[in-house]
Amino acid sequence: MTDFTGKVALVTGGTRGIGFGIAQEIVARGGSVCVTARKPDELEQAVKTLDPDDAGRAISARGSADDEEHQDAAISQTIETLGRLDFLVNNAAVNPYYGPTIDADLGAVRKIIEVNVVSVLSWTQKAWRAWLRENGGAVVNIASVGGLRAGGPLGSYGMSKSALIYLTKQLSREMAPQVRVNAIAPAVVKTYFARALYEGNEEAVANSYAMKRLGTPEDTAKLTTFLLSDDASWITGETVVIDGGGGIG
């Protein structure tokens, strides 16, 4: 395990699922973390779990991922309270529509693009200006295999993740050599967010993967922290698929 002692991360959407798993992995490796989310009770519980001894290893910032005032406040709070900002993990995402893209409500599509793509750019711009440009670091964006494979009832979500994959590559060129920017593209990970893809049918979904199981937050956390670490110091602009050998995604 790469030692993250002295390193600080900001993880958006970090109170449950993939985001919380990443925050846990960073803290387990000695780092400190700021997690963001909208619900105060989830934030409070996440911080208690991440930092049970109240040692200043975890803080939280409440707000909507696409709210620029929240973004500014979270980044400022992270630097002021934890002293630095080495890593940004853009994990927050929404998917208010499930069904054929041809029938999608355009308001829902706009919300998906705003949160899953535009806000990622905004978070990254602000982290760059506040710390990363002068001090270096790494960014990991949480994409999806849905951004690489068409079909299924998550077309609008997949469209946003396809844009995020492109944005990852574009920013990796613009932010080099100070900052590396990569993404991961998970298939179905067993989280509350993805429950519509496996609830009531978990065995069949799991059997569609070569590894015969769904992904876990721990799986994605270990890959993410590798990409954040110096062990990945010559990797940038990449989107790493993590899908148990292939499946329905």
User: CA-to-CA distance for 232 and 224, rounded, in angstroms?
Assistant: 10
Tokens representing 175 are 């932010």
Total residues found in the chain within this entry: 249
Helix 155-175 to helix 106-113 angle (10° resolution) is 30
Residue 157 appears among annotated catalytic residues: yes
| Contact in structure between 66 and 118 (CB atoms under 8 Å) | yes
| 3-state secondary structure (DSSP) of residue 234 | coil
Report the candidate in 177, 185, 231 with the shortest Cα–Cα distance to residue 4: 231
Q: Which of 97, 157, 198, 209 is catalytic?
A: 157
User: CA-to-CA distance for 77 and 118, rounded, in angstroms?
Assistant: 22
Tokens representing 24 are 């846990």
Burial 157-176 (b: 16+ CB within 10 A, else e): bbbbbbbbbebbeebbeebe
Sign of CA dihedral 229, 231, 235, 238: negative
| Contact in structure between 215 and 189 (CB atoms under 8 Å) | yes
- State CA 182 to chain mean position distance: 11
| Contact in structure between 11 and 33 (CB atoms under 8 Å) | yes
Known catalytic residues are 157
